[in-house]
Structure 1
Amino acid sequence: MAKIRVKQEESLSIKFIHQMKVGANRRLDLYFFLPKEMGIGPHSLNEEEYYHSAITGRRSYYSSALHLPLVQSRFASQKKRTVEEFRLYLNLFAYQFAVAIETDSKELGQIEDAEEFYGALNALYELVIQLLKKFRRNEPSDPKWKSYFENADNYLSWFCEQRLLKLLSRAPRSSEFSEIVENVIGLCRSEHEHRKSKRYNSLHTVEDPNRISNKMLLLRRLIQQGVVLKDEFKVLGVGLKKMTTGFATAMVMLVVSALIIKAQGVFSGLTIALVLTLAVIYGFREIFKEDIRNALWRVIQKGRPKWSRILRDTTSQAPIAKQLVWMDFMKSAELPAKVSEILKRRHSQNKLDAEVLHYGIHTRVTQKDFLAGYTTIQEQVNFSLAPFARYLERGKAKIYREQDGKISNDSVERRYQINMILAVRDDKDEVQYARYKITMNRSTIIDVSQSDLPDGIPEMD
């Protein structure tokens, strides 16, 4: 598996996924090169607003044994474990099961070719059956254990049914794959009957979409207990910003005071001319005070992290990792030398002027062991490109062609290409790089592909 995976998440979002073990020290930087023809830059996009509205992350414990009989290995010796340990292992499996199905179904939903879609749907159908069987094979009989199992079973059954039905509702039309469709529908019906026979949900809850949806959200949060890490978010530089504001105000007032003294020397006594002059001076003070403060803050803030995050175990409240986060626009001259070298690899027709949006995250994982059974944490960060899309132009051009004396035309969509360079460094190791090309239009991401790097540039494993 690659150290860091980058993939398309939905129609207008991408995400990167990576895992870190105990004691990891990783710095990860993403550079988005936005062609200036897109109209996106510091003048039109506030990077802090973009971070809070379009970037979402999920950090949790992780086990690579998801597609193995994890429940058997974890639950076989139930009598030797406490209820809390059982719940933690159960939640880990159920959560990763749900995330895997969610990820696979989103990727499957982007496939337009009927043969490829139904082949992948059949593989997902078989995987769901296999995992549900393995999960239910170890259903406990003790009531104090069983309630946790039933919550997870109820949610996984409902979630798998919803994901499969959603895929079928958007599936390419084809009569050749009716058998696969029938199999998937049969599985959805059997899961509905399974929940009904177990009396997991009341009749009123099942018949009310709002009630069943809210109940499943609650069960999802219960499953995440002990698996998803709690984050404590903090804005950095608040005190420094106040000091910058005070310094800028002092500088402006120094100039204003000098001008007032000068004006009083020019105009003898309190005259209308003096009053008007003072009004103009104070007016300019209000205009330039904000500009001077913002200019000073940009200089002081440059290169500094804007936010910090502490990740805690939700069960023990022990700190698991600390993170520093950067988000800013950069000038081309400020880019690392190897990033600039990678960018020069582009074809001549793609060498357009671009604005550089930088996202960085530095993670230090605790040196202490995690809870028993956990050795790795996983981070997934989603970037929505919808704020970019609103600046893009719709396709207005037409291509004309002639055949047998008849002239026809085809509408052409306007496409844009964003280069993205990823740099990652673990501890004191050499920085490794990867380059991706994101092709998008106003409504969707058309393609995300990885490109070759120049010779001599360390490529990410």
Structure 2
Amino acid sequence: MAKIRVKQEESLSIKFLHQMEVGDNRRLDLYFFLPKEMGINPQSLNEEEYYHSSITGRRSYYSSGLHLPLVQSRFVSQKKRTVEEFRLYLNLFAYQFSVAIETDSKELAQVEDLVQFYTSLEELSAQVIHLLKRFRRNEPSDEKWKSYFENADNYLSWLCEQRLLKLLAHAPRSSDYTEITESVVALCRAEADYRKEHKYNSSKTLEDANRIANKMHLLRRLIQQGVVLKEELKPLGIGLKKMTTGIATAMVMLVVSTLIIKAQGVFSGLTIALVLTLAVIYGFREIFKDDIRNALWRLIQRGRPRWSRLLTDTTSKLSIGKQLVWLDFMKKKELPPQVNQILKKRHSQNKVDAEILHYGIHSRVSAKGFLAGYSQIQEQVNFSFVPFARNLERGKAKIYKEHEGKISNESVERRYQVNLILVLKEGKDEPQYARYKITMNRSTIIEITESDLPSGMKNMDEAPFEDELLTPSATDAVEVKS
């Protein structure tokens, strides 16, 4: 498994996940090679707008095993755990459980093979039952702890029900798998009855879809308390941008003033010709002022980080880490030599001209301030390809076939291949590389495949990667953190 995992998130989005430990100093660069026929370039895509609208991420505490921090015999004494500690560990489990069920259900929704879908659905429902049983088996008796447990229990029950029902609503229809469908429906009904039995939600809340959705949204925010890190994003180079604007204005005014002086020398006195000449000069000033400023800013900004992000523990208010973020279009000559070497390994038919969109993130994780008992944070960043897809053409071509004298045709879709190269540098170690091919059309990402690297290059597949999935090994790891 790789240190960084790239996978499809929705129909038109991808994500990468990785974990960072205490004291890590990590630089990660992603180079998207977008074929020019896609029509994506600095003129059609504003990097800043794309960053704020289509790149989302979350950073949270992470544990390789799902620890269930509930009161049972493994605690020597309840006095050794404060309410705050209990709530934090409970939140960590509930949060990782919710992310896991969301991840698994999204991946399962993309499965088109009938047998694989229903087999995986049966496994997922069995894992959900197992985790919920072990979770509830250790319900605390102390009232000051019980309210936190009930909030998490209410939300996890509702989320599992909703995710399974959504899978069934969009599942491929087949009478051969009625038994599996009925068992999943029975599980959803049992969870709904369970919440009613424990009076987690009032009758008015249950009758109003808006109220129940808003309540669950609130519970989700409560279980994220202390687990998801607070992020403070700041744009960089604001003063430099103002100075660039001033320099560009000064340059334009220098040229304008020179032309005005020359015009006054040519025309004696205030004449209509002088007034028209001055009007033309000022008109050209307005036309070129913004172009000169933007060109100058791009030149100065090139290679510089655009944003800084401060990660803070929401409970202790201590700084957990700092990040610098890059997002810009690059020229091929600016690429690192190793990236160019990877590109040369492509098949000849794939060597098309491309625009290069670069996303970089440099993370420095603090050696102090972590929640007690945890030494890792997980970062997940999603990239939406919807702005890319808007520029793509719909498939209009047809393929004709002849069979026994009859001619038929079949419409074909227009597909595009985006190359993605990842470069990971940890501290003073040698960089590690990975290359992916993303095949997409106007409506969806068809597949993501990892490609081989040139010999001699260090691959990322040298350290195990812990993913947030509801695997059997993860369920076996659900134990009390003592």
TM-score category by the smaller chain? over 0.9
Give the aligned partner of residue 452 of structure 2: 452
Structure-to-structure mapping, 1:29-428, within 5 angstroms: 29-66=29-66, 71=70, 76-77=75-76, 78-428=78-428
**Residues 291-326 of structure 1 deviation map (CA, whole Å, 9 limit, x = unaligned):** 111111111000000111101111111111101100
Q: Whole-Å Cα distance in 1 between the matches of residues 190 and 357 of structure 2?
A: 49
Q: Structure 1 63/71 Cα, relative in aligned 2: closer, same or farther at 3 Å?
A: farther
Q: Whole-Å Cα distance in 1 between the matches of residues 195 and 339 of structure 2?
A: 54
Q: Whole-Å Cα distance in 1 between the matches of residues 255 and 281 of structure 2?
A: 10
Preserved CA contact (<8 Å) 2:57 2:381? yes
AA at the equivalent of 1:349? Q
Give the aligned partner of residue 465 of structure 2: none
**Residues 180-219 of structure 1 deviation map (CA, whole Å, 9 limit, x = unaligned):** 2122111111111110000000011011111100000000
AA at the equivalent of 1:436? Y
When normalised by structure 1's length, the TM-score is 0.97
Alpha-carbon deviation of 1:2? Answer: 2.1
Alpha-carbon deviation of 1:72? Answer: 7.1
Q: Structure 1 75/350 Cα, relative in aligned 2: closer, same or farther at 3 Å?
A: farther
Preserved CA contact (<8 Å) 1:7 1:15? yes
Structure 1 segments unaligned to the other structure (5+ residues)? none
SS of alignment partner, residue 138 of structure 2? coil
SS of alignment partner, residue 395 of structure 1? coil
Q: Whole-Å Cα distance in 1 between the matches of residues 286 and 193 of structure 2?
A: 70
Q: Structure 1 177/147 Cα, relative in aligned 2: closer, same or farther at 3 Å?
A: same
SS of alignment partner, residue 392 of structure 2? coil
Structure-to-structure mapping, 1:21-36, within 5 angstroms: 21-36=21-36
Q: Whole-Å Cα distance in 2 between the matches of residues 74 and 41 of structure 1?
A: 61
SS of alignment partner, residue 429 of structure 2? coil
Q: Structure 1 70/449 Cα, relative in aligned 2: closer, same or farther at 3 Å?
A: farther
Structure showing greater relative contact order (alpha-carbon pairs closer than 8 Å, 6 or more residues apart): 2
Identity of aligned residues (%): 76
AA at the equivalent of 2:443? S
Structure 2 segments unaligned to the other structure (5+ residues)? 462-482
AA at the equivalent of 2:351? K
Q: Whole-Å Cα distance in 2 between the matches of residues 273 and 414 of structure 1?
A: 57
Q: Whole-Å Cα distance in 1 between the matches of residues 73 and 153 of structure 2?
A: 16
When normalised by structure 2's length, the TM-score is 0.93
Alpha-carbon deviation of 1:176? Answer: 2.0
Q: Whole-Å Cα distance in 2 between the matches of residues 174 and 304 of structure 1?
A: 55
Q: Whole-Å Cα distance in 1 between the matches of residues 51 and 313 of structure 2?
A: 24
Q: Whole-Å Cα distance in 1 between the matches of residues 338 and 142 of structure 2?
A: 60
Preserved CA contact (<8 Å) 2:69 2:86? no
Q: Whole-Å Cα distance in 2 between the matches of residues 231 and 166 of structure 1?
A: 31
Q: Structure 1 230/5 Cα, relative in aligned 2: closer, same or farther at 3 Å?
A: same
SS of alignment partner, residue 88 of structure 1? helix
Q: Structure 1 448/72 Cα, relative in aligned 2: closer, same or farther at 3 Å?
A: farther
Q: Structure 1 179/274 Cα, relative in aligned 2: closer, same or farther at 3 Å?
A: same
Structure-to-structure mapping, 1:430-449, within 5 angstroms: 430-449=430-449
Q: Structure 1 328/74 Cα, relative in aligned 2: closer, same or farther at 3 Å?
A: farther
Q: Whole-Å Cα distance in 2 between the matches of residues 406 and 297 of structure 1?
A: 62
Q: Structure 1 429/72 Cα, relative in aligned 2: closer, same or farther at 3 Å?
A: farther
Preserved CA contact (<8 Å) 1:401 1:408? yes
Q: Whole-Å Cα distance in 1 between the matches of residues 188 and 406 of structure 2?
A: 51
Q: Whole-Å Cα distance in 2 between the matches of residues 448 and 73 of structure 1?
A: 45
Alpha-carbon deviation of 1:79? Answer: 3.4
Alpha-carbon deviation of 1:457? Answer: 1.3
Alpha-carbon deviation of 1:69? Answer: 5.4
Preserved CA contact (<8 Å) 2:69 2:90? no
Preserved CA contact (<8 Å) 1:168 1:181? yes
Segments of 4+ moved more than 6 angstroms? 72-75
**Residues 395-438 of structure 1 deviation map (CA, whole Å, 9 limit, x = unaligned):** 11111111122111111111111110011111111110000000
